[in-house]
Amino acid sequence: MFKLDVLVKLKKDVLDPQGKAIELAAKNINIKNIYSVKQNKYFEIIVEKVPNKKKAEEIVEKLSKNLLANEVIEDYQVIGSKKI
């Protein structure tokens, strides 16, 4: 089995309401010095029954394109892959 991690980030200039809400909430509970907060998604994926890491990466690439990221507003990157 292989474990791969995928980070999905909003594209630059796309509004991030969750991040904004945290910025505001921080002010409200008196945590100062926060300039900005951006919230992204981080997926941990375990791929089974594949012969090698390359094949696992292909599958995760397909999964990312089709399900994990909305490429209109988000970018994704596979940031780690290892045999487990």
Which of 68, 74, 75, 78 lies at the binding interface for its own copies (CB under 8 A)? 68
Contact 77, 4 (CB under 8 A): no
CB atoms within 10 A of CB 2: 20
Residue 50 within binding range of its own copies, rule CB under 8 A: yes
- HSE (side-chain half, CA atoms, 13 Å) at 51: 0
Residue 43 within binding range of its own copies, rule CB under 8 A: yes
**Measured distance CA(16)–CA(29) in Å, rounded:** 20
Within 22-41, which residues bind its own copies (CB under 8 A)? 22, 25-26, 29, 31-41
Residue 78 within binding range of its own copies, rule CB under 8 A: no
- Interface contacts to its own copies, rule CB under 8 A: 1, 7, 19, 22, 25-26, 29, 31-50, 56, 59, 62-63, 66-68
